[in-house]
Amino acid sequence: MCAARGLSSISSIRKLRAGGRKPSPTSKAEIPIIIIGGHVAALTRRTLEEEPVDYACNSEGPVTIRQLLDVLRADRQGDLAKVEGLAWRKDGEIIINPVPALIHDLDAEMPGDVWDLLPMDKYSAHNW
């Protein structure tokens, strides 16, 4: 089984910082964290330099997340370079992989919405 946590906003990162979370790309003790979203895609390197996350997505999130989870589930850290759209660290150096192709047909290439499975009571925004 593979546990991972994804974040799609910088405000979520502030909570991690407040808790003293440090990135640990090779640690088995903590759940790896990937951050996605427009800000991250535009400023991928800077985001990975400044935020306490293990991975960043610099493009189409669904493709990158699926490939990353496959690699992490199989415990194949050496395959991180093959994950399209992934930014990560190798020996302290930030590596930014090439982006995947754009998703053109959402109906064919992505599963349906499962909003009913989301614990919406756990989500908040500054204006809710």
Condensed to tens digits (0 to 9), the pLDDT of residues 28-56 reads 546 788 888 888 889 999 989 988 888 99
Separation CA 4–CA 13 (nearest Å): 15
pLDDT band at 114 (very low <50, low <70, confident <90, very high): confident
pTM tops 0.75, yes or no: no
Q: How confident is the model at residue 27 (pLDDT cuts 50, 70, 90)?
A: very low
Q: What is the pLDDT of residue 5?
A: 54
The proportion of the chain whose per-residue pLDDT surpasses 70, expressed as a percent, equals 71
Give the residue with greater pLDDT, 47 vs 22. Answer: 47
